[in-house]
Structures are given as structure tokens and as C-alpha cells.
A and B are shown apart, each in its own frame.
Chain A
Amino acid sequence: MGQIAPTPFVIPDLIIQTIHFMTYEANVRPAWIVLVLLLLFILAYTVLNDSPLIQSISNPPKQNISRKGFSNFKNSAENEMCLKCHGQSKYSYTNKENGKIIVKRMYAEAIVNRDDFYASNHREFKCTDCHSEDYISFPHSGDLRMEAIATCVDCHGGDEKYAKFQFETIDTAFMASVHSQKHSEEFTCWMCHDPHTYKINARTTENLKETITYDNLICLNCHGDNNNYQLLSNKPNPNLLQKHDWLPNQSSHFTNVRCIECHTRNEDTLIVAHFITPKNQAVKKCESCHSKNSILYASLYKHQIKQNIEKVGIIKGLFFSETASIGPDRNNSLNLLSFLIMGLTVIAICIHVFLRIKNK
């Protein structure tokens, strides 16, 4: 031992001696392992949780489409003629009689936010594609107020290009939904899908959380806002947090699934279910989602299931490609491995028992 060990063995020997000292010489108990684990967990749960480093690794910043500048979009120059007034809450014009500049407020429902519009599905449209050409003149003619508002099916219905979205089936489901049944004509597609701002989310599930938030905000626009709620109802808006008191880990549910997961009747053919059910028909059983036959596979995770490892990152791809927070039992290869290990253990025990009896 007196001789110094050759270089490659210096470090391992030092480690062994340290472990030896800690566990044997110093008589330190394995309680240290527990303390280290505890510290690691506290570190992971508190420090790392909000660390910008970890957040940036986990969620690389996404390029915001609106940052490109609006001028890149087709028809943006023409649209700007409308948006210079309708793009914000104030507009101004010159009074021809006295030459004064008048500043007025824009009605809330006549405002189209540029960021939202140029991120929406209809961003390439001209305003006058849907609205009358007569809007070009200002002040607008009073007759224009009578202009009929188009619904989704007016443009998308019967069009082969949009056949996969099945707008007709959506329309049927919507007509049967509680919104349509209770409010009939008053409640149109626009209530949830304002064509000026609506952005389809369902098939871009790289960022599932974004889809969930976007879709839930559609519901919360009325159900979380008393003013909007009472545009269609005389009743006070029920407090959603209280109404969902029974739901365990409420905030986790609210941020990890969409309202429509429980509040729609799912139809396999539709990409997103539109048959919103009355509250007494809402899903209330844990096992409806937290089971092998989870209804989430027909809704929220419909598109995610098809994603491959490259798209979702190594950890997620390797272990969770078929999973969600509802449990890794959806990972068939790991299941198989666990059954294999357990099976081999049982076989080994049986052989051992057999040999023990034989050699008795």
C-alpha cells in the first residue's frame, strides 16, 4: 500500500477509500443516501422548477408569427386601410366642416386586433372578401349595418378542400349541443370561433399546453366573464372553481385538459367534438380518463399518439411516446419488459424450489 498507485487508478482508489471511510471507518450510516435524495428532490421541486435555464431547455422559445411584421402578409396594405381605425380602441378622422381632428372610441365588437388577425387562419384574406366593398368609403353607409354575417358553413360547407374537417357534421353536432339548443339563433359559430382571430390548434400538438390554454380560453371568454355570460343569459355566471370543487387537483386538471374533454359527447369522425352536453351529462368519473380506454385518446391525444420520437424529444419519445399524465401503463414496451422481468423471476424461483426439493 505504501507505493503510490499508477495514475489511472489514483482517482478510483481515492473514491473507494472515501466511500470506505464514510461507510465503515467513520461508521456513517446509509442514512446519507436518504438525505442526499431528499436534497435532490427539494432542489428539483423548488429551485429547478422556476429556473429560466430549465424552462428554456424544456420549452424553446417559439417564433411568433406576428413578429415577422404584418407587411409580409398578402393583402395587408389594403387591410391596413380598415385596421387603421378598427385595429385599436380609438380612431380619428378630420371633421370636414371645421377641419378639427376628432378622436372617438371604437366599439369593442368592431375591433380587430392585428396580432390576432395575422396569426389567425384567415390572415391572408382581404377584409372585403367577407365584408361589403362599400366599406371602403368613410363614413360608412347606415345600410351596411344590415349586412348578413357569414357562418363557417357558408364558406366551408360542401367544399372538397375542407372535406376532412367535416363542417356539415360539426354543424349537426353544434345544432344538438346545449349552446344551440338553449340559445338557438343567438348562438352562432362566431361565439367561439371569431373568424377574425380564430387559429386552428388541434393538429399542431407539439405544444399541447398551448392548445389546451387556447381552447379553454374560448370557453372562459363567456364562462369566466360575467359581462359576456350575461349577453346570453339572465342568470349570474356560476363560479367555475366552486362548481368544480369535487375535482381532485383542480388546477392540474384545468391546465392539462380542455373543458371539452368532459363537456362534449365525442364523435370519432370529428377532429374536435362539437356536441357540448348539458352539465348533468358531463364526464365525472376519474376512470373515464385514467384508464386504458381513456376517452382522452379519442380527443386530446388523438394527434399526439401519432407523433414520433424526433418530434417530442428524447426523454419523452423514449418513455412517453404513447403516454400522458394518465399513467405510463400506456407504454407497451416498458410493460412488456416489466412482465418479462417478473416472469423470469418467478421461473427462477420455481427452478430453485424444484432443486431444493430434489436435493433434500
Chain B
Amino acid sequence: MNNHSSERLYLYPLWIRIWHMINAVLCLILIITGLSIQFSNPSVVVKFKTAISVHNIAGVLLAINYIAFFIGNLFTTNGHHYIMPVRGFFKRLIIQIRYYTIGIFKKENPPFPITPDQKFNPLQQFTYVATMYLLVPLIVLSGFGLLYPEMTLKSLLGASGLELTDFLHVTVGFFITLFMCIHIYFCTIGKTPASNFKSMINGFHESH
């Protein structure tokens, strides 16, 4: 188990890589157009009308892509990686955080080496589950509510339902953007800074 140095593990099957690539491109488009709409003054980066159309189309495509991911994880072994064992989870999370903040600079070995059975470390597992099973469904559902405002809850506790939906959509959008920044940075922590990016193209993971 300790000798990973020259191993190349085939961790990312083709469907995951295609899904991931589409998801990444759509997320970038959605973030750029979303910021343009949010901070329109009257137009930022992308023209308002264009930004709306592109955002709507990309949003619907992301929702379809999400369904593919959801079904894929339901019926293939990939879903296994998203099941979080509860017992001792925080302990393992802290070990991983300690590694990223201290251990990595002391050239310690990763506390949870990547294996075909465990492709995510506890921190990855937690953030990926939170993002893919909480944030993304929330943003898709609230986006649906904004796309069809006639169907949206009219009012709740004195606030307009549309405003609450909008607030939820924008807030979740912010956290997904935050996730994406951290996610992309953490991908540079591989055998070489580029190796994890290569993995998502060829499917093979190169261990430290």
C-alpha cells in the first residue's frame, strides 16, 4: 500500500471525464455571465441581453449534465466515492486539513493515499458531496424558479418569493464559485502541478 511512487491508476473513466469537462466549461460560462447579470452597470464583460440568453442556455445544459452525473453515480461504482462514512469522519477531515496546512510543507506523505477504492481524500469527499449533492441541486432548482417566475412561491414571511429564490441562487452561485477557485488550486497539488489536470484528460492518476 505504501509503494505508489510509479503507479498509474486508471481512476477516471471516459464518462466522468466527458461529464467533468462539460461541467467545467458550463460552470465557467455561468460564472462569467452570472457576474455580468448580477453587476450589470448596465453591461459588464458580456452584454446584458447576451449574458441572459447564454446564462439560461448554459443553466439548462448544466441541469441536463447534472442528471447524467446523478444517474451515472446511481448506477456505476463511481457513486461509491461519494458515500461518506460518518464515524470518525471529522477526525479524518482534521488529519487531511492538517496535512494541507502543515504536513505538506514538511514533505510528509498524504495521510489518505489515493487507491481505486478511495479516489477522494476526506476533505475532497466532504466538499464534493456538499457541492454536487447540495449546492448544485439548489442552484439548479432556484434557477428553474427564476426561469419560470410565474411558478415561484409568491411570498414568504414578508419577503417576495422571487427575491428569496434569487437570493438563494446568487448565494449558492457564490459558494460554487468559491469551490471552483479552491478546487482548481488544489488540483495543482499533484505529482507535478499539471499532473492532476492531465489525469482528467487521460483518466490516469499519477501518485506522488
Contact = CB atoms under 8 A, between A and B. Distances in A.
A pairs with B: yes
B163 A349 contact: no
B167 interface: yes
A315 B164 contact: yes
Contact of B39 (A249, A292, A352): A292
B151 A24 contact: no
Contacts of B87: 16, 20, 24
Nearest to A208: B160
B201 interface: no
B133 interface: yes
B181 A58 contact: no
A291 B157 contact: no
A328 B156 contact: no
Interface residues of A, number: 61
B79 to A, nearest CB: 5
Contact of A291 (B42, B129, B149, B162): B42
Interface in A275-303: 285-288, 290-293
Given A287-B42, A320-B167, A349-B182, A30 B82 contact: yes
A152 B106 CA distance: 83
Interface string A23-38: 1100111110110011
Contacts of B52: 286
B156 A58 contact: yes
B145 interface: yes
Interface in B159-175: 159-164, 166-167, 170, 174
Contact of A319 (B100, B132, B159): B159
Nearest to A350: B185
Interface in A303-360: 312-316, 319-320, 323-325, 327-329, 338, 341-342, 345-346, 349, 352-353, 355-356, 358-359
B133 A33 contact: yes
B157 A57 contact: yes
A315 B41 contact: no
Contact of B85 (A23, A41, A256): A23
Given A30-B133, A325-B163, A251 B84 contact: no
A55, A315, A323 — which one has the most chain B CB atoms within 10 A of its CB? A315
22 contacts: A20-B87, A29-B73, A29-B74, A37-B137, A37-B138, A37-B141, A38-B141, A41-B145, A252-B162, A256-B162, A287-B49, A291-B40, A315-B158, A315-B159, A316-B158, A316-B159, A320-B160, A320-B163, A328-B170, A342-B177, A342-B178, A345-B182
Interface of A: 16, 19-20, 23-24, 27-31, 33-34, 37-38, 41, 44-45, 48-49, 54-55, 57-59, 249, 251-252, 256, 285-288, 290-293, 312-316, 319-320, 323-325, 327-329, 338, 341-342, 345-346, 349, 352-353, 355-356, 358-359
Interface of B: 37-43, 48-49, 52, 70, 73-74, 79, 82-87, 100, 104-107, 129, 132-134, 137-138, 141, 145, 149-164, 166-167, 170, 174, 177-178, 181-182, 185, 189
